[in-house]
Amino acid sequence: MAPGERIGHSIGDFIGRSDGGFIGHFIGGEWVPAESARSYRKRSPWSGEVVADVAAGDGEDARRAIAVAHEAFESWAGAQPWRRQQIFLRAADVLERRRDEVLDSLAVETGCGRVFGEVQVDFALKLLRQAAQLGYRPIGELLPSDVAGGRAAAIRRPVGVVGAIAPWNASLTLAGRAVIGPLALGNTVVLKPSEESPYTGGALWAEILQEAGLPPGAFNVVTHAPGEAGAVGDALLVSRLVKRINFTGSTPTGRRLAEKAGTYLKRVVLQLSGQNPLIVTDDADVGYAVDAAAYGAFVHQGQVCMCARRIYVERPLAEEFTTRFAAKVATLPTGDPSDPATVVGPVINEWALALLDRRVNEAVELGARVLAGGVPAPPCYPATVLVDVPDEAEIAQGETFGPVVIVEAVDSAEEAVARANESDLGLAASIITDDVRRGLRLASRLEAGIVHVNDQPVNDEPQMPFGGVKDSGWGRFGLGFAAEEFCELQWVTVRDQDREFPF
Ligand code: ADP
């Protein structure tokens, strides 16, 4: 099917149907195939059915999109705030109208169940509605100057073309976050979605923004085949027309990107992996701690960068917590993500399933005990609780993306903070305690970009300074902070009298 053949339909009308659909690049307001005419088949992680044939783009396609975005920049940057505001408010209405169909597409394309699907749609709606007022924020400051008759200003201006690289795991939210803030500030965007979410993390945003009236060229999407992200990513990095890159993904990929960006002196915003601790003090309400930990570790089958990976429990509560937690986890329903009762749906692909299996088995060989789960049920991996995991086990290091959590008893929450801080990563953390003042003291010692006291770590709101420290990334997403990342400050002066020059 050629891209133009579905004019009048959403690609979503075809997602998961036996006749499939074709997802082209979205460049200059048009759906186009790859220059090379190549495509790949995206399959559903749950059913294995073809979701769509997708344009397999390369550097050539990316350069085409960059040129178009560059051309569209001046006009979009100059659009009056009320016009931009209308577009984002309309986009929110379009998404709201399409909510059920978007939830279905998230389940079919990425295995995302209802609970996390609703979280994603709600975030995206708030993102659009908050972005609608960004155009009315003050754009700079007047500064006192020591020059006689001089006036000085710091004026914030959009940078130009922003390259956005997003992952599959919270496809709608993370692609939206990569795109909407930069657009609302007057930039134009080329988005490279993950090969696992070309629709809900790419084409769907194009459909929504196009229907809302975004001018052609302001937003563009270039897709690519599995294993071929590098060609599109490199084109974004190398092009002098692309002024910023924002990237959400794993630390190894982000590190490679930052190394290359250094060569081109390109500023990047990176939100990378997490090894997120959840600390339970001995005065905590055990029932609440168990429920919070189960959600924090297993929402979206543990495939969220903020998911709790290690639970530290102060020793007096450790046995009771662990017993009740493992009992709850063992009952979490696993299976079809479209079934509202399912908690643990499929993991994204066979590679991810094999990695989880290998790392859990390695931990067990090194002495770990499995208290729940631990046996794959393809295409799912059940919610799994491990104890006695030695530090040298791979699963105790870095980030393993999936429904596996480690529980560890500690002598004190302070010891837990020290253990958590040993990690190279520092994205999100949480503390469950009856003593809020102690919780805040512990929070201030945690090396993490985000800390929640009396909650689990999976939380996001569009206005918050979302981001990590250490190897979890640079910079902050969040609309209130986007101007720091996606604008340039220009120093402008004017004098109301001539100056005397020394020669
Ligand atoms: P995840 O494990 O969450 O998929 P990745 O870091 O592999 O994390 O992927 C995040 C995003 O980075 C995806 O859009 C992926 O296609 C992209 N990506 C992977 N390799 C590269 C690369 N060499 N250059 C640019 N983007 C890449």
pLDDT at 210: 97
From the CA of 479, how far away is ligand 1's center (Å)?
23
| Token pair for 87 | 């577009």
| Adjacency order of strands within the sheet including 25-27 | 30-32, 25-27, 219-221, 188-192, 161-165, 242-248, 267-271, 473-474
pLDDT in tens, 287-346: 999 999 999 999 999 999 999 999 999 999 999 999 999 999 999 999 999 999 999 999
Taking the C-alpha atoms of residue 105 and residue 484, their distance in angstroms, rounded to an integer, is 34
Separation of CA 269 and ligand 1 centre (Å): 14
Contact assessment for residue 146 and residue 382, using Cβ atoms and an 8 Å cutoff: no
Position 482 scores a pLDDT of 85
Q: In this structure, what DSSP letter does residue 500 have? A: P
Q: Sheet harboring 450-453: ordered strands across? A: 369-372, 384-387, 404-410, 308-314, 276-280, 428-432, 450-453
pLDDT at 12: 65
CB count within 10 Å of CB 484 equals: 14
In three-state secondary structure terms, 487 is: strand
Residues 6+ apart with CB under 8 A from 422: none
- For ligand 1, atom 23, name the residue with the nearest CA: 230
Section 211-234 average pLDDT? 98
Residue 444 Cα to ligand 1 middle (Å)? 32
Find, among 213, 134, 121, 236, the residue nearest to 176 by Cα. Answer: 121
The structure's pTM equals 0.96
Measured in Å, residue 247 CA sits from the centre of ligand 1 at 8
Cis geometry, peptide bond prior to residue 457 (ω within 30 degrees of 0): no
Answer whether 397's CB lies under 8 Å from 372's CB: no
The preferred substitution site among 197, 238, 253, 257 for testing ligand 1, maximizing ligand atoms within 8 Å of CB, is: 253
User: Is the distance from CB of 192 to CB of 222 less than 8 angstroms?
Assistant: yes
- Nearest-atom number in ligand 1 for the CA of 165 is 14
Q: Is 236 helix (H, G, I), strand (E, B) or coil?
A: helix
* Per-residue tokens: 472: 């979890």
**pLDDT tens for residues 30-74?**
999 999 999 999 999 999 999 999 999 999 999 999 999 999 999
**Cβ proximity of 385 and 325 under 8 Å:** yes
Residue 10 is predicted with a pLDDT of 62
CB-CB neighbours of 429 under 10 Å: 29
State the distance from the centre of ligand 1 to the C-alpha of 252, rounded, in angstroms. Answer: 9
Write down the pLDDT at residue 21. 83
Distance CA 454, CA 446 (A): 15
- The 10s digit of each residue's pLDDT in 244-303 is 999 999 999 999 999 999 999 999 999 999 999 999 999 999 999 999 999 999 999 999
Instruction: Using the mean position of ligand 1's atoms as its centre, give its distance from the Cα of residue 194 in Å.
Output: 7
8: confidence class by pLDDT, cuts 50, 70, 90: very low
Tokens of 321: 């917590």
Give 156's strand partners. 489
The tokens of 402 are what? 């999936």
pLDDT reading at 413 higher than 50? yes
pLDDT at 7: 39
Count Cβ atoms below 10 Å from residue 166 Cβ, excluding itself: 28
Atom of ligand 1 nearest to the CA of 254: 6
| Residue in this structure with the two tokens 């996606």, named with its chain if needed | 486
Secondary structure in 3-state letters for 339-395: CCCCCECECCCHHHHHHHHHHHHHHHHCCCEEEECCCCECCECCCEEEECCCCCCHH
Distance CA 309, CA 292 (A): 13
Give the type of residue at 413.
A
- For ligand 1, atom 25, name the residue with the nearest CA: 233
Question: Minimum mean pLDDT among 14-18, 200-204, 228-232, 234-238: which range?
Answer: 14-18
Query: pLDDT for 431-467, tens place per residue?
Result: 999 999 999 999 999 999 999 999 999 999 999 999 9
333 upstream amide cis, omega within 30 of 0:
no
Give the separation between CA 328 and CA 288, rounded to whole angstroms.
12
Q: Name the residue among 482, 447, 488 with its Cα closest to residue 468.
A: 447
